[in-house]
Structure 1
């Protein structure tokens, strides 16, 4: 007879098998890289220099939140980087709009989206976190707040960006280009987007993260991707780890990607296995779209183990720790 006691015993056994199976899969997918703390990781090749700037804070015993802000300000200020910060390509109407968010080890977070005229959105995101009761400010309100805090309002549309925009206007076609941050000299109608996401653990073992971008080139005015959205482009839980995303933000938002990665790590997944599962959610839900776009996730757990996974080949990430300050690793991919 199938009684309640038998049901409970079978359920417990099933849960145990499921847990063992999941842990076996996670260990099979990746060999975790346990590094000595502190450590900082970030997306793409321009993350190497950004990490080195963050390391200056970490190596002195500074807080992870200070390190990630300082780190991502490097690509924000780089006039040759058209995917992040002051040199970002404009939207289809010629407006350079910037997005960023930051999250610390205490669960505090701040964000700005579609902000114009301010070169360092990550610093405004931090001020939103520390000086307002809000999480996100957008558009002219974000710009107004930045000016009130003493930041300079300035024109961000550089001559090189304006030239690319005017070239794009001849056809006004939008075609995503996979791994645009690794491609140089593309025709005007192929310029696209990307992001720097950074995660750091300081010497005290506390985790923080930052994410900043100029978004998709020539996007619709007002479009906001995943980068400034807590849980999508970035998420940190100091008990578990942190995750960040890069690529086409719409698919990251639809799956609340970075939060998903952290929650999978909470369940016992390694960072790489968690990133892979988040990628697979996109493949399963939108297979026809997944083949044509790039999305990558990068994660670190409380132990300092890190990993990444992307839809397409070409995604890489930078690592900086006591062993190496300029490590660049090719992430694994589905396609």
Structure 2
């Protein structure tokens, strides 16, 4: 039997101090929510979806409620969910004004022969299953509005995406995600994001791309990534990490390998969480911070700063 693990992240970026406590609280809540679903007999896909919904519903994160704005002040979101047992996956790209894009991604996986739907087609599909658009103002936080206004003063928002250093006004691109393994070694992942502030309308990042924003395979493990989407897509970061895990390397070494490859070859920065099919768990990031939390063996682990690892008994 495998020791079950539920791990989540709240995005790898230069998280400002004003958001530290709320970000940590959010990932702790999401990890506990996912673990409760597992304890109640839920599948790994149920767990991944529930944990990410918790993060999407939290306005501190750039996913669902709290999503950042495109240059034309719209809310366009991406999400993926993947079942490691069957390697089935569902994804949405540039879906508008949906509080929980991960729910739509799961419906695509389970109700259609496709893997991804985008834009208007994704919204129409969602409405067929009772998931309707909401007023975008319900998803937009004051922080998102302020950030867009700030970045409209500049012509290039790419700088902060590729620069790991602190910046007075960091671009918020705090994708959220979950990776899970149960007692039988079944795995799943889910990732969701509102993208990057002032992105071009229709821009799609790594989050809904299999092998980039997430990957799950029961023969190896599951991964959810975060950071600069353009770099993560070029590096196929999630698949890279799983491939290294498949050679017998431990989870942390595999994540470091992927991040190092992305930095040296593409000058991109980010982070990832992962579980192996044997119950190993790890997280790493090359950005200033990444809030993360996981539950294993009756203990809650969490952190946000480099090298920080706090453990609480449940």
Do both share a fold (TM > 0.5)? yes
SS at match of 1:205: coil
Aligned partner of 1:5 in structure 2 is none
Q: 2-side partners of 1:142 and 1:57: how far apart? A: 27
Identify the match of residue 222 of structure 2 among 233, 238, 242: 242
Identify the match of residue 227 of structure 1 among 207, 213, 218: 207
Gap regions ≥5 residues in structure 2: 11-23, 309-314
Aligned partner of 1:26 in structure 2 is none
Q: CA deviation at 1:235?
A: 0.4
Matches within 5 A, 1:157-172: 157=137, 158=140, 160=142, 161-171=144-154
Aligned partner of 1:60 in structure 2 is 40
When the two chains are superposed, the root-mean-square deviation of aligned CA atoms in Å is 2.6
Q: Over residues 277-305 of structure 1, what are the superposed CA-to-partner deviations in whole Å (9 max), with x where a residue is unaligned?
A: 1112123313xx34xxx311222111111
Q: 2-side partners of 1:149 and 1:312: how far apart? A: 38
Residues 307, 126 of structure 1: alpha-carbon distance in 2 compared, 3 angstrom cutoff: same
SS at match of 1:147: helix
Q: Which has the higher mean CA deviation after the structures are superposed, 146-155 or 130-139? A: 146-155
Matched, 1:267 2:247: yes
Matched, 1:122 2:102: yes
Matches within 5 A, 1:132-281: 132-157=112-137, 158=140, 160=142, 161-171=144-154, 173-174=156-157, 177=160, 190-281=170-261
Q: 1-side partners of 2:141 and 2:303: how far apart? A: 31
Aligned partner of 2:53 in structure 1 is 73
Q: 2-side partners of 1:321 and 1:228: how far apart? A: 27
Q: Which has the higher mean CA deviation after the structures are superposed, 307-316 or 47-56? A: 307-316
SS at match of 2:110: helix
Aligned partner of 2:7 in structure 1 is 41
Q: Contact (CA 8 Å) 2:220, 2:277: kept in 1 or not?
A: yes
Q: CA deviation at 1:117?
A: 1.9
Q: Normalized against structure 2, the TM-score is what?
A: 0.84
SS at match of 1:227: coil
Aligned partner of 1:311 in structure 2 is 286
Q: 1-side partners of 2:196 and 2:262: how far apart? A: 19
SS at match of 2:283: strand
Aligned partner of 1:320 in structure 2 is 295
Q: CA deviation at 1:331?
A: 5.4
Matched, 1:88 2:58: no
Q: Over residues 111-163 of structure 1, what are the superposed CA-to-partner deviations in whole Å (9 max), with x where a residue is unaligned?
A: 00100021110000000000000000001110110011111211224362335
Q: Contact (CA 8 Å) 1:86, 1:156: kept in 2 or not?
A: no
Residues 60, 204 of structure 1: alpha-carbon distance in 2 compared, 3 angstrom cutoff: farther
Q: 1-side partners of 2:288 and 2:173: how far apart? A: 17
Q: Contact (CA 8 Å) 1:100, 1:213: kept in 2 or not?
A: yes
Q: CA deviation at 1:329?
A: 6.7
Between the two proteins, the alignment pairs up a number of residues equal to 288
Q: Over residues 285-330 of structure 1, what are the superposed CA-to-partner deviations in whole Å (9 max), with x where a residue is unaligned?
A: 13xx34xxx3112221111111223223423421112321353375
Residues 191, 278 of structure 1: alpha-carbon distance in 2 compared, 3 angstrom cutoff: closer
- In our comparison, the structure showing a higher alpha carbon Rg is 1
Gap regions ≥5 residues in structure 1: 1-34
